[in-house]
Amino acid sequence: MSQASASDSFECDLLLEGGVVITLDGKRRVLDDGAVAVSGGKIAQVGAAAGMRHLRETAGRVVDCRGKVVLPGLTDGHTHLFQSLGRGLGDGMTLVPWLQKFMLPYSKAITREMSVAAVQLGALQAALSGTTMVVDNHYAPTDTETILAVADAVEEVGIRGAIARGIFGEMNPGGELMGVDPDLFTWTNQEEIAITAECMAERPRGGLVEVWPCPENIVYVWPELIDASAEMAAVAGVGWHMHCSEVQDEISFFMEVHGSRPVAWLADRGLLSRHTTLAHAVWLDPDEVAAMGASGATAVHNPISNQYLASGVLHLEALLSAGATVALGSDGVAVAGQDIFEAMKAGLLMHRVASLDSTATTVEQFLELGTRGGAAMTGLDAGSLEPGRAADLVVVDVSGVRHTPWSRPVASVVHSGSSADVEMVIVGGEIIVEDGRSTRVDEAEVSAKAGEAAAQLFGKARLSELAKDWISS
């Protein structure tokens, strides 16, 4: 029985009809005049609109999607929502100075109240950009109350989330080499494990927002904390997250301390698995690429951030060919934005110019990374529009001049799509964005609270030097 003619013995809560439906299903069907029926938070039926019009009679709501595209929700596989207050600061630095002069002082000064305001702003920006799932690496502050408040803030917006609790532990040689502020090493190693376990118990897998362990960076976290994070994740059935091999300096720092390359070290310790999600993973050698593929680990590709900080270019084709999962990330507003449409286009073009080969990437490939890749990374039954999967969808308006003339839907979405086109976002069958506005939170109130928090933070962290109207070279 085909999807379009599957049994109609369900209660249709929502019917999206008449749009171009980019299914990302097994056959990668694109339906010119398609429809998607939602029931009980899941996709019930996908097919030609003509064959599903009878569902109008009993549907809870029918949405006319003519002039629009319906596609799976996007996943942001690596972001820092608490950094939203730092928009526009720190430009023109490489990673280590950016951390030392901007982000680490910012992280040291931010309070729980400031952080929650920033997180809700970032989550709102993500939702309005068509993102239905974020992996949010939150590392300031990291006490239990703050982590749970951050999870609540994301849930209020209505998107799914994995709050990857940043773990520093005790100061160590890698932290000294990278010049990390000792004040960020707040907790003992045992306290870090206990707090993370407590947060994970409060926000387990299965809810809208869960908590993952996140040893912050492979260079400056003690090995036993990385071991513990991997074990906790495996027991809980969730991912664990970590910055790894983002820039060349990190490789030399790590080798100075451990005498091994970072991903090779993870492989030797048996820490690479489908639960392992490494942010950036740019500077890998062929053996490390092979190890990522053999284990099914995830590399989160952050193309805008990697260009902003001039960090390097991910070995995309090699990782995919090896069997690794690759997802897309924004890396947060402080270096990019919360718009995965931008990440798709930036990544698509980045690899072409890096290889001097315009055939190196395709629009289809990057749409898959933003949808199916993210779902595989997070373990969600989503990422494609197929019966039984979570009803996480985005409706994009393509009726305007920017998308005219309309020829190849996938090419137009990836090359010309942006957050400005997002009209409706659905998570678990609930419409959380309609007519480009949040249905869950007061946008003006969220923005006002974030603005107040930013003013307080800039003074406390002494960031005003970075906020000049014009910075001469």
At 212 the pLDDT is 99
At 277, list the tokens: 């999600």
The parts of the chain modelled with pLDDT lower than 70 are 1-8, 473
Q: Between 112-128 and 443-461, two packed helices, what is the crossing angle to 10 degrees?
A: 130
130 closest CA partner among 311, 396, 369, 314: 396
At 3 the pLDDT is 46
Report how far residue 296's alpha carbon sits from residue 301's, in angstroms, rounded to the nearest whole number. 15
At 473 the pLDDT is 63
Per DSSP, the three-state class of 215 is strand
Count of C-beta atoms within a 10 Å radius of residue 190: 13
Strand residues in 7-121 grouped as ranges (E): 14-22, 30-39, 42-48, 62-64, 68-72, 74-79
Is the full-model pTM beyond 0.85?
yes
**Dihedral (Cα; 413, 414, 416, 422), 10-degree rounding:** 50
For Cα atoms 428, 430, 434, give the angle at the middle one, nearest 5 degrees.
Answer: 130
Does a cis peptide bond (omega within 30 degrees of 0) precede residue 405? yes
Count of C-beta atoms within a 10 Å radius of residue 281: 28
At 103 the pLDDT is 86
At 8 the pLDDT is 63
Q: In 3-state terms, the chain is what percent helix, strand and coil (to 5)?
A: 45, 20, 35
From residue 383, give the alpha-carbon distance in Å to each of 124, 221, 364.
20, 32, 14
Q: What is the DSSP letter of 93?
A: -
At 6 the pLDDT is 45
- What share of the chain in percent tops pLDDT 90? 86
